[in-house]
Amino acid sequence: MLTALLFDLDGTMTDTDTLHLQAFRQLLKDEDGRSLSQAEFNERISGRANAALFADLFPDLDPTRRQALAKRKEALFRVLSPSLEPMPGLLRLLDHARDRAIGMCVVTNAPRDNAEHMLAAMDLAQRFEHVLVADELARSKPDPLPYLTGLQRLGASADQALAFEDSLPGVAAAHGAGIHTVALATTQPADRLLEAGADLVIEDFNDSRLWALIERMTGLPVIE
């Protein structure tokens, strides 16, 4: 029985990677004249929590300076994203879950200011009772702790849940928590997502294979 849906945010509920790439490029250019390619962004940045990410990007800086740079980058991102479009099919899925009394939770490596901004920019702030962010937990993705915490908040077991992700660390975290993981191919190729532990890779939430899976897990026909 499907009782819980757990969603990553960036790149999963809304396609924000281009905006994050722009913000990082501006930050790195202003800070030390560095450039950043799309490939480097996909490999080193996408899906990672800021603490580890900024330690990797700025190994010679002290933690206080890194934190200040992280805050500046996130402020740049928020300026670039006054409104955001939900991924195709997302609203249909959220409505379906609401009508079936399926619990929903956001599980993100983004800082809380960003998470709340993105949900508001999609007009989805009231849809989620629980929004879990990495820097408020002991460990971030790819550790399974964020998803295990999400299951706990929703009172669900892993075999009653679906997780939705787009990044390699996120897929690893959800898979490590034992949750059937659906990956969206917005930021990574399907083969890499499958290697990381995804059970299904889709383009968006309208994919018929996702809805067939939901029908099997609920034991109820899906209403178009």
Query: What percent of the chain shows pLDDT beyond 70?
Result: 99
Rounded average pLDDT over 48-74: 93
pLDDT of residue 223: 64
The lowest-confidence range among 39-48, 106-115, 135-144, 169-178 is 39-48
- Measured between alpha carbons, how far is residue 10 from residues 73, 87, 140, 154 in Å? 15, 10, 15, 21
**Is CATH 3.40.50.970 the classification given to domain 4-14+84-218?**
no
pLDDT at 46: 85
Whether 30 is a known active-site residue: answer no
Query: To the nearest whole percent, how much of the chain has pLDDT over 90?
Result: 88
- The reported pLDDT for the residue numbered 217 is 93
Mean pLDDT of the 11-26 span: 94
Average pLDDT over all residues of the chain: 94
pLDDT value for 9: 96
Q: What is the pLDDT of residues 74-110, one digit of tens each?
A: 999 999 999 999 999 999 999 999 999 999 999 999 9
| CA 5 – CA 205 distance, rounded (Å) | 13
Tell me the CATH number of domain 17-80, given options 1.20.120, 1.10.3470, 1.10.20, 1.10.150. 1.10.150
Confidence check: pLDDT of 198 > 70: yes
Task: Give yes or no for a contact between 21 and 41, defined as CB atoms under 8 angstroms apart.
Answer: yes
Would you state the pLDDT for residue 224?
Answer: 61
User: Residue 49 — pLDDT band, cuts 50, 70, 90?
Assistant: confident
Which one from 8, 15, 17, 166 is the annotated catalytic residue?
A: 8
Q: What is the pTM of this model?
A: 0.90
Domain ranges of the chain: 4-14+84-218, 17-80
Output the 3-class SS for 13-48: CECCHHHHHHHHHHHHHHHHCCCCCHHHHHHHCCCC
Q: Is 199 a catalytic residue?
A: no
